[in-house]
A and B are shown apart, each in its own frame.
Chain A
Amino acid sequence: MINYILRRVVTSVVLMIIISVVTFGVFFMVPKLAGTNPAELYVGKSATPADVAATARKLGLDQPVYVQYGRFVKGIVAGRDFNSGPSKTHCPAPCFGYSFRNDRPVFPLLLDRLPVTISLAIGASIIWLIGGVLAGVISALRRGSILDRSMMILALAGVSLPIYFTGLLAQLIFVHNLHWLPGGEYVNFRDNPIGWASKLLLGWITLALLYAATYARLTRATMLETVSEDYIRTARAKGLRERVVIGKHAMRSVLTPIVTIFGLDIGQLLGGAILTESVFGLPGIGRLSIDAVNTKDLPVVLGVTLFGALFIVVANFVVDLLYAVIDPRVRLA
């Protein structure tokens, strides 16, 4: 078991290094290949080529990419200084770069936005997990019934309808027409828990609807497959009640694929739900990344990308560990 964990840790670290190298390469090489100098982004519109070159030198953008990458990694571990203009700007560890647009290091910028994204992801995931799995189980057990068919049609609709449609529609109805929910700015959970929940509620539901559909279909398919397994027949042959056969024996097997995609979905969402956050005006990581792209704030884009990747890698790691908890065959293999 310890071996298994160690192997997974090493794999995850190696994966993260590869991702950082590739991402860094893409973000700092592409402007060069496109014939623009990234330093142009940091100087005014009327800057002379000499100004651009000077800025590039100050920021180290004239260095070969591996030197820049080395400095970037060193910054994460030990912090780093940027010589912007006359004054030195210090960026403490872990330094994922410095956003001159926001005049702040990238890492605290991300940390500020993280609670919003986490709130959105956790709330939505609870709804879709319960709703999706429950709908899937009921559908499978009542296979072919009207209930099954209508739920699967709903699931199809849920998968097909984009967030910017359902989200805007929901806002129009519940916020602007019915006034059931408040509009306005996002508030912290600590400051105003009810305001926090009512601001997030529509986002949770819309996002959950999208995912619940996938979970319902997956649960239904896995459940149908599982109930035809020999060990389910054995469970019935033992004289177990149907409730136990389904709730204990079948659900245990159905959970495996659910845990897998759940881990990946959560990992992905923590990297920012761009559409949902934009539609509902939630200042999370997704919004940060969109704003950074629009303002060509490369350090932030890089930071968001690496953060997103980190969440997915960590989620994968956790899923692998959960596998070992769920399936004893993995533990010993």
Chain B
Amino acid sequence: MKGKGMATDLLASGQPASGGSRPSAPRSFLDVRDLRIHFNTDDGVVKAVDGLSFQLDRGKTLGIVGESGSGKSVTSLGILGLHRHSKARVSGEVWLDGEDLIAASDERVRALRGQRIAMIFQDPLTAMHPYFTVGAQIIEAYRVHNNVSKKVARQRAIDMLGRVGIPQPARRVDDYPHQFSGGMRQRAMIAMALVNNPELLIADEPTTALDVTVQAQILDLIRDLQEEFHSAVIMITHDLGVVAELADDILVMYGGKAVEYGTAETIFRRPEHPYAWGLLGSMPRVDRDVRDRLIPVKGTPPSLINLPSGCAFHPRCPYVGYNGIPCRTEIPTLAEGSDHGVACHIPPAERQRIFSEDIAPAL
């Protein structure tokens, strides 16, 4: 059960790494501990990810949810080791099957990239090279990790295109990305990501650029392939509908930090962070009266250079200063003894009461 992996010590991640005293043995297939990704810019240090920890087992799906600029994509690129050393300062630990990727050499991470960890990007039109055929790009992805002939790799590419549901794959393999429709292009992108049977698949907003009917197909496809390959999947999205369908666990990010972390069931049934309430309230649902207005989260995401003091969400939180809690001065941590972490100063009992009495009826 996931709850085991989410013990108190791993969730207590508000303070900077003090070095040396943390437990060394990773508990899950993917074990991210106190990940920090900071960028030095002319305007100051952007703390895009600031002390993030989570675990993920094979065959499971983690949904990372948050607004633009909450640090979701930066996290995924950090796991892949795609941040430039000259620009980004990455610290913390990313254990993949017992190997720390942050400590590993660039060449080692490169060899893992595309092979054991693969990524599906948001917009398949810009994410594929316009000048190379779809087949050539998949063949290249296969051959960089497998010492096989072009012919073998080509057959593999055709098989993969067929597997992801592209009709006439033997013919389409020689087409260019622009000759594919949006949905087909995303399927091709998935074929390219899965060509080496990766154990960890990171999907960064895989359906955002697609229309709704195609979205469902792509999500079904990812789920089917996950079952087949028994891979771990990180689904990054701002769309709660997507994670509701796929995720086992959900991590809600705000201002580069996790504000709520638990099973999908918990986050949807009894969320406790005011930001998660806001996200749920702004999600369109078919079981809701169409005349009801969606309730937006007021305000805009914070600047990652000058995060608000205390709880980063406090300027937008309707419960700020509730019963004299120190929202503006103290940073709340995820510390929680159960399988449900909430970074909020409101006492747990109060949060549960507010949700069931005030929030849930309005959803």
B128 surroundings in chain A (CB, below 8 A): 231, 234
Provide the bound-state CA to CA distance between A252 and B112, in Å.
Answer: 26
> In the assembled complex, which residues on chain B have CB atoms less than 8 Å from the CB atom of A229?
126
Asked whether B322 is an interface residue with its Cβ less than 8 Å from the other chain, the reply is no
Q: How many residues of B contact A (CB 8 A)?
A: 29
Within 8 A of B (CB), among A284-333: 326-329, 332
Is the Cβ of A238 less than 8 Å from the Cβ of B176?
no
Q: Do residues A230 and B123 form an inter-chain contact, with CB atoms below 8 A?
A: yes
Contact with A along B87-110 (1 / 0, CB 8 A): 000000000000000000000001
Q: How many A-B residue pairs have CB under 8 A?
A: 68
Residues A233 and B121 in contact, CB atoms below 8 Å apart:
yes
Q: Which of B160-219 contact A (CB under 8 A)?
A: 176, 178-179, 192
Residues from chain A with a CB closer than 8 A to the CB of B80 are 237
Are B140 and A236 in contact, with the CB atoms below 8 A? no
B82 on interface, CB distance cutoff 8 Å: yes
Which partner residue on chain B sits nearest A240 by CB separation?
B144
A233-B121, A236-B82, A237-B119 known; A253+B131 contact, CB < 8 A: yes
Is B243 in the interface zone, CB < 8 Å from A?
Answer: no
Q: Roughly how many angstroms separate A169 CA and B118 CA in the complex, as a whole number?
A: 58
For chain A, what secondary structure do more than half of its interface residues adopt (helix, strand, loop), or is it mixed?
Answer: helix
CB atoms of A239 and B121 under 8 A apart: no
> Smallest distance from the beta carbon of A27 to chain B beta carbons, Å?
44
Contacts of B144 in A (CB 8 A): 238-241, 244
Q: Which residues of B contact A258 (CB under 8 A)?
A: none
Shortest CB-to-CB span from B150 to chain A, Å, is 15
Kindly identify which residue among A237, A244, A327, A332 contacts B113, using a CB–CB cutoff of 8 Å. A237
- A252→B111 CA distance, assembly (Å): 24
Question: Which residues of A have CB within 8 Å of B112?
Answer: 239
In the bound complex, what is the Cα–Cα distance between A238 and B126 (angstroms)? Answer: 15
Please determine whether B127 and A234 come into contact, CB atoms closer than 8 angstroms: yes
The yes or no answer to A170 lying at the interface (CB within 8 A) is: no
On B, residues with C-beta under 8 Å from A are: 77, 80, 82, 110-115, 118-119, 121, 123, 126-133, 140-141, 144-145, 176, 178-179, 192
Q: For the A-B complex with A328-B130, A328-B178 known, give 17 more contacts whose Cβ atoms are closer than 8 Å.
A: A229-B126, A230-B127, A231-B127, A233-B82, A233-B121, A233-B127, A237-B80, A237-B114, A237-B118, A239-B111, A239-B114, A239-B141, A239-B145, A241-B110, A249-B129, A249-B132, A327-B131
Task: Name 28 A/B residue pairs within 8 A (Cβ), A-sorted.
Answer: A230-B121, A231-B126, A231-B127, A231-B128, A231-B129, A233-B77, A234-B128, A234-B129, A236-B113, A238-B113, A238-B141, A238-B144, A238-B192, A239-B111, A239-B114, A239-B144, A239-B145, A240-B144, A249-B132, A252-B129, A252-B132, A326-B131, A327-B130, A327-B131, A328-B130, A328-B131, A328-B133, A329-B178
